[in-house]
Structure 1
C-alpha cells in the first residue's frame, strides 16, 4: 500500500529527531497515528464537500464516508475496477431518493433515484436484513457489480456480495438490480410507500438501463444502514 500523507502529517513525522524517537517512541507513534487518522477522515469529508451535486441532493455524510472507506479497500484488492460508487442508504424512507451513483474520477453525482428494499425488510422504512435464501430481505454491505442479463424484469444486473455471512449469498439468492413498475412516484401516491422486492435493489423503469450501463462490470455498490451488528461483522468499515 502507498500512503499519501497530507502536509500536516509529513511535518509531524519530520519533526521527530532520532533522539526524540528513541526516548518517547510509543508516544510519538501514537501521535502520528492520531494525525494520520484525523487526516484520513478530513480527506473523506473533503471529497464529500467537493462533490458536484449535479442538482441532486447529497447523500448523508456518514453513509458516504463508510462507502468511501470500503471502496478504497476493494479497489486496492482488485475486487472492483471502476471509479464508480453506487451508494444506497436504507436508513432513509423508501419514499425518498436514496440511491446515488457517483463518478469518483470527477466527483460528480450521476444519478439520484428511488430504490426498493425487500418485502420482509420493512414497510416504508427498512428495519431487518438477511443473507439467507428465501428470506425476501435485503442484505447490507459491499457488492461488486457483475454482468447484464435479460430476465423476467428485462435487462438486469447481477451482483456479487463481497462480505461473507452478510451478503455473500447474493448470487444464490438472485439478488440483482432490475427495473420494476412498483418503484415510482405514482405507486407511492397510491400506497403511501414505495413497492418492495424479494430482496433486490429494484429501480424505476425509466432509469434502469442507464444506471445498469453505468455501473456494470465490477464497480462498487454499498448498501448502508446504521447497524451495530453490521459494523461489528464487517471487515471493510470496522
Structure 2
C-alpha cells in the first residue's frame, strides 16, 4: 500500500515475491501455523555404534591390544566410549569380539550397551551388521559409525557431525574429513540400513558411501579424522602407553 501511495505501482513479479506471508497481517482469528504443533521440529536421533571387535593384527602376533593401551591412564576403548557418551547421540552401543572379556572389563561402570560379534574374524562388515541388530540402533534416524582406535576424536567433533546430519534433514551421509581427505567417523541415514545388512567381508561404510547414491556432506574436523593407532609405533607416537 505504501508503494501505491508513493505512485510506485507493483507489477506481477513484485506481488509474487511478496506472497510468502508478507501480505497477510497477523490477526487473532487466524491460527498461526508456526506456533502450532504442525511446525514443531524434532531433532533427528543418532545412535553411535563403536567398533571394538577387531583382532589388532598389525600390533603383532601375541602383542598388546591397541584398545587397552592407556592414554592419560585410561584404556583407549574406555576413552573412546566416554567421548561418545559426552556427545549429543541418543545412545551408544559397543561391538566387541577379540578379547571381549578384557574390553568389557575396561568399560565397567559406563552407561553403554555391548554386543558380541562372534564372527569378528570375518571382517568389519560383520561388526556393522552386529551393531544393526540392536533395536535402539535400527530405530534411530542415523547411525554414527565410530572406530574405537581414534584417540583424537572429541565429543565436539561428534556433535559437529550430528549437527550437520540434523541440518540435512536426516537424509544425507555425513563424513568427517581432514583437509578435504575423507576419514572417520561417518553417519549413515536410516534409509541405508538395508545396505548395511548386505555388506560382506572386510568392507566398511566406505563401500556404502561410494555406491548408495545418497547426498554426502563432508565435515572438516582436522587431523582427528585420520589419526588411528594400528601399530605399536602409532600408539606411542599418539601418546599412548602399551599394556599386555
TM-score range, shorter chain: under 0.3
Structure with the greater relative contact order (CA < 8 A, sep ≥ 6): 1 or 2? 2
The TM-score normalised by the length of structure 2 is 0.28
Query: For the pair shown, which has the larger CA radius of gyration, 1 or 2?
Result: 2
TM-score, normalised to structure 1's length? 0.28
